[in-house]
Amino acid sequence: MSAAHSATCPTGGLEAIRQLLALAALAPSSHNCQPWHVSLLDAHGHPHADPGAAPNALVVGIDRRRALNALPAMQGEMHISAGGFAAIVLNLLRLSGWQARASLLPGACTTQDDALEPLARIELGAFDPGRRSAGLAALAAALRRRCTDRGLYRGSFALHDTMRQDVLPHSLADAQAGEPWHWHVVQPGLRYDQLGAFYRQHAMRDFVHGPAWRETYRHLVFSGTAQPRDGVGINIQSLFGPMPAWRRCLHRVLLHPRLLGALGPFGASAHVGTQIERLIHSSPAVIYLSTAASHAQAPCRHLLAGEAIARLWLAASVSGLSLHPLSVALQHPDLRARLGHLLGCDEELLFIARAGVPRRPANPALRYRRDPSVFCSPPLAAGPAAHHRTQE
C-alpha cells in the first residue's frame, strides 16, 4: 500500500468500506439471488490482509455458484444485476470522499477461483472526508427506500421528472457521445391494452418451463417472517400478499415443480396471466430500456445497462415510485421478438417493468439481504446485523 493511501485512510477504513458495501447490497437482482462478489486487493494485486486499512482496489464480479443459469438470457440478467451493484459501489465510494476510478473488464474470466467472474475493477486512492458529498445521504436514503413491489399500483409516472432525481452522478464508463440507452414509456391506451393481453397470454411461460421454474422455486421462501439462512430469495407473501401458515404450506405444494409440471396449464399457472394483466392495468406506466443495434453486441453492454437501470430505479424511489420487472418476455427469444414487434421497437430490449406508487406499504420483515461478510474475499467481519434487507 502506498504511503499516501495509508496516511489518508481513516481509522477503521476497512469497516467504512464494509458499511458502504452493505448499502450497495440493497441493489436489485433477479430472483433476489444477489450474485455479486467483491474481491479486496492490496497494492500488489494480492488479497487484502491489513484489517486496519482500506484495500487498494475492489474487483466486483459474479459468483457463478449463486447466479441464475436455467435460461441463456439469465447470463445477461446476472451482468445487469452486477452492473447496477458495481455502479452503486462506485458512487458510494466517491460520494463518501474516496478517490475512486472504475474500469470494466470485458471477457475477463481468469481468477484464482474458477467460480468467480470479474467484471469491474475500482481503484481506491486517497480518502478525504472534506470531499464527502451531500449526495451520499440522498443515495443511501434511495437505496433503503427502493423496493420491488409486486402488488397493485396507483399514481402517475413522468419519465423526465423522474430522471431529474438522479442519485448516481458517477458512471462506470467514461461518457460517450451518442448515449446508447433509450428509455421508453407506454401509458394507458391501445398499445397498453395490447401489452396487457400479451402478458395474459404468455406470463405463464416460466411456470411451464421446467428448468426455469425449478430455478425460481429454489428462490421462493415460504416462511412467515423468519429470515432465510442465506439472506436471499423472495417470500411467497411478496408475490401473493399476506397469508396464514396453512396457505403458505399449500402454495409450497401447489407450486412444486413436479406437481406444476404434471398439471401444466391447468394448474396454478393458469391464473398467472390474468393476474399480471390486472397488475399492468393498475399501473400508470410500463417502461422499457433498449439499445441501438450498433451497440447490441458491445462488450459490457449488460453491465452498463445495469447502471442505467439502477439509476432510474433509484430515481423512481426518490419520487415514491416502485418498479416491478416483467422479465419473462425477455428471457425467451420468441417472446422477446414478439414483444419488440408489439412495442414497435427494432432495438435490443434489455429491461421492462411496470411503474407506479404501491397501494400498500411493503412488509419490512420480508426484506432479505446478504451481509458483506459473506460476499467479500478475504471475508470481512460481520456487521451488527447478519443480513441487510430490502423488498425484492
Is residue 42 packed enough to be buried (19+ CB in 10 Å), middle (13-18) or exposed (0-12)?
middle
Give per-residue burial for 96-124: e unless 16+ CB within 10 Å, then b: bbbebebebbeeeeeeeeeebbbbbbbeb
The predicted pLDDT at position 259 comes to 86
Q: Over the Cα atoms of the chain, what is R_g?
A: 21
pLDDT band for position 364 (cuts 50, 70, 90) = confident
Mean pLDDT for 61-83 is 96
Residue 222 lies in a domain: yes
* Domain harbouring 315, CATH code: 3.40.109.10
Alpha carbons 381 and 74: distance in angstroms, whole number: 31
Enumerate residues 6+ apart whose C-beta is below 8 A from 312: 162, 163, 183, 287, 289
Per-residue pLDDT for 329 more than 50? yes
Per-residue pLDDT for 11 more than 70? no
Q: Indicate whether this model's pTM tops 0.85.
A: yes
Quick check: 151 and 359 in contact, CB under 8 A? yes
Grid cell for residue 365: 420483515
The predicted pLDDT at position 6 comes to 37
Quick check: 376 and 55 in contact, CB under 8 A? no
Per-residue pLDDT for 69 more than 50? yes
182 and 313 assigned to the same domain: yes
Which of the two residues, 18 and 51, has the higher pLDDT score? 18
pLDDT band for position 108 (cuts 50, 70, 90) = low
Which of the two residues, 254 and 33, has the higher pLDDT score? 33
Alpha carbons 336 and 303: distance in angstroms, whole number: 20
Residue 264 lies in a domain: yes
Alpha carbons 296 and 347: distance in angstroms, whole number: 8
Q: For residue range 368-389, what is the model confidence (pLDDT) as tens digits?
A: 999 999 999 998 877 655 444 4
Residue 382 lies in a domain: no
Enumerate residues 6+ apart whose C-beta is below 8 A from 307: 83, 84, 86, 87, 168, 171, 172
Residue 386 lies in a domain: no
Of the listed ranges 165-169, 276-280, 388-392, the one predicted with least confidence: 388-392
360 and 370 assigned to the same domain: no
Mean pLDDT for 340-357 is 97
- The number of folded domains in the chain is 2
Triad 294, 173, 340: Cα angle to 5°: 35
The predicted pLDDT at position 267 comes to 55
115 and 161 assigned to the same domain: no
β 153-154/348-358 pair status = antiparallel
Give backbone dihedrals phi and psi of 48, rounded to 5 degrees, phi first.
-65, 130
Quick check: 383 and 14 in contact, CB under 8 A? no
Residue 388 lies in a domain: no
Residue 211 lies in a domain: yes
Grid cell for residue 391: 423488498
| Total count of residues recorded for the chain | 392
7 and 42 assigned to the same domain: yes
207 and 242 assigned to the same domain: yes
Residue 392 lies in a domain: no
Q: For residue range 111-127, what is the model confidence (pLDDT) as tens digits?
A: 556 789 999 999 999 99
108 and 185 assigned to the same domain: no
The predicted pLDDT at position 279 comes to 96
Residue 84 lies in a domain: yes
222 and 255 assigned to the same domain: yes
The predicted pLDDT at position 3 comes to 39
Quick check: 274 and 248 in contact, CB under 8 A? no
The predicted pLDDT at position 39 comes to 96
The predicted pLDDT at position 175 comes to 57
Per-residue pLDDT for 89 more than 90? yes
User: What's the CA dihedral at 235, 237, 242, 248 to 10 degrees?
Assistant: -90
pLDDT band for position 366 (cuts 50, 70, 90) = confident
164 and 269 assigned to the same domain: yes
230 and 170 assigned to the same domain: yes
CA 183, distance to chain mean position in Å, is 17
Residue 263 domain boundaries = 153-364
Q: For residue range 30-52, what is the model confidence (pLDDT) as tens digits?
A: 999 999 999 999 999 999 988 88
101 and 181 assigned to the same domain: no
The predicted pLDDT at position 265 comes to 58
169 and 246 assigned to the same domain: yes
164 and 273 assigned to the same domain: yes
Grid cell for residue 167: 442519485
